[in-house]
């Protein structure tokens, strides 16, 4: 890892350390987005160890300062939700690009990283590098969700006896992932009740 990359990842962590939302990690309370970013990096390093510096930054910064834009600031319903998600993507991308330039990366490198974070290139079917990096970012996000957040997410719907909702989320998540990510996901050690739901969703 270059010193330049290390300094950018550290700057991202410093911002995410300010998150007042708390999550448990190894039995300790930690800032939610700090842990999320580090889990994203751990997943990337494990399954895509040859990832470029730009992809490494995009993965770490996908939720940078996510608390800045609250869901409640946007309209209710599906349209408002998508507006919030698009605004978040642009916010994360702009902030990350600014940090990169401050730490000596070229403007075009910062712009490429911003494009990866916004996943703009997923619509590009030419399979160029930005397209591939955007897909890998999507894969990492889906895998981290399944490995670390799926259990808590599904619990509220299990309480509501709404198994159909969980199955639909799994199916939507699966559609976003590449074949390589599918293979990795099938090897995850999930609790038995979640494994059963995933099997149902994919059947």
**Residue 123 — pLDDT band, cuts 50, 70, 90?**
low
> What is the model's pTM?
0.92
| 33: nearest Cα among 84, 75, 92 | 92
pLDDT of residue 55: 97
Burial pattern 47-66, b for ≥16 Cβ within 10 A else e, equals: bbeebbbbbbbbbbbbbbbb
Q: Look at residue 160 and tell me whether its pLDDT is greater than 90.
A: no
Q: Is the pLDDT of residue 125 over 60?
A: no
Please state the rounded mean pLDDT for residues 100-123.
91
Question: Which residues contact residue 82 at a Cβ distance below 8 angstroms, ignoring those fewer than 6 apart?
Answer: none
Q: What percent of the chain has pLDDT over 90?
A: 76
Could you tell me the residue ranges of all domains in the chain?
1-118, 141-203
Confidence of residue 126 (pLDDT cuts 50, 70, 90): low
For residue 19, give the nearest of 36, 35, 30, 31 by alpha carbon: 31
CA-based nearest residue to 116, from 49, 59, 175: 59
Residue 36 contacts by C-beta under 8 Å, 6 or more apart in sequence? 16, 23, 62, 63, 144
Closest CA to 103 of 61, 68, 44: 61
45-79 pLDDT, tens digit each = 999 999 999 999 999 999 999 999 999 999 999 89
Which tokens hold the place of 181?
A: 């990510």
Residue 127: per-residue pLDDT: 62
Provide the percentage of residues in the chain whose pLDDT is more than 70: 97
Collapsed DSSP state (helix, strand, coil) of residue 76 = coil
């Amino acid at each position: 890892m270059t010193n330049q990359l290390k300094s950018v990842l550290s700057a991202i962590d410093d911002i995410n350390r300010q998150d007042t939302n708390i999550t448990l990690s190894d039995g300790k309370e930690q800032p939610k987005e700090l842990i999320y970013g580090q889990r994203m990096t751990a997943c990337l390093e494990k399954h895509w160890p040859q990832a470029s510096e730009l992809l490494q930054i995009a993965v770490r910064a996908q939720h940078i300062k996510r608390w800045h834009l609250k869901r409640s600031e946007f309209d209710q319903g599906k349209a408002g939700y998508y507006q919030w998600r698009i605004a978040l993507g642009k916010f994360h991308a702009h902030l990350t690009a600014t940090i990169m330039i401050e730490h000596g990366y070229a403007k075009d490198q910062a712009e490429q990283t911003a494009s990866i974070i916004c996943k703009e290139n997923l619509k590009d079917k030419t399979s160029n590098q930005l397209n591939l990096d955007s897909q890998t970012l999507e894969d990492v996000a889906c895998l981290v969700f399944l490995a670390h957040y799926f259990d808590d997410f599904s619990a509220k719907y299990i309480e509501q006896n709404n198994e159909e909702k969980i199955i639909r989320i799994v199916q939507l998540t699966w559609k976003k992932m590449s074949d390589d990510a599918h293979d990795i996901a099938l090897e995850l050690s999930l609790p038995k009740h979640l494994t059963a739901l995933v099997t149902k969703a994919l059947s």
